[in-house]
Amino acid sequence: MSIVGPRPCLPSQTELIEARRARGVNELRPGVTGISQVQGIDMSDPKKLAEVDALYIEQSGLLCDLRLILATLIGAGRGDRVRKKA
């Protein structure tokens, strides 16, 4: 496992596994954070998740990884931010 890459899925998530296999995502080393996590995409939409994870194949590299790590550290993709009332 690495720091950046598509987050591993459960063996019971067969639709996601097949969608990732079709896009070549299963060939990547899984990671703790990735494009899907930074964009706030959860595993409830397997096809969209696989599509976004496949973007990492095209964009992977040191600069992309650093951006994703930074975005993760500042909390990108978190759905629990509280907005201040005006």
pTM of the model: 0.76
The number of CA neighbours under 13 Å toward the Cβ of 27 is 6
Scanning the structure block, which residue is given the tokens 């079709």? 22
Are 17 and 26 in contact, with CB atoms under 8 Å apart?
Answer: yes
Structural domain spans, the chain: 2-73
Per-residue pLDDT of the chain (86 residues; tens, 9 = 90+): 899 999 998 899 999 999 999 999 999 999 999 999 899 888 888 999 999 999 999 898 999 999 999 999 988 766 544 444 44
DSSP assignment string, 33-76: E-HHHHTT--TTSHHHHHHHHHHHHHH-SHHHHHHHHHHHHTTT
- Residue 29's SS3 state is coil
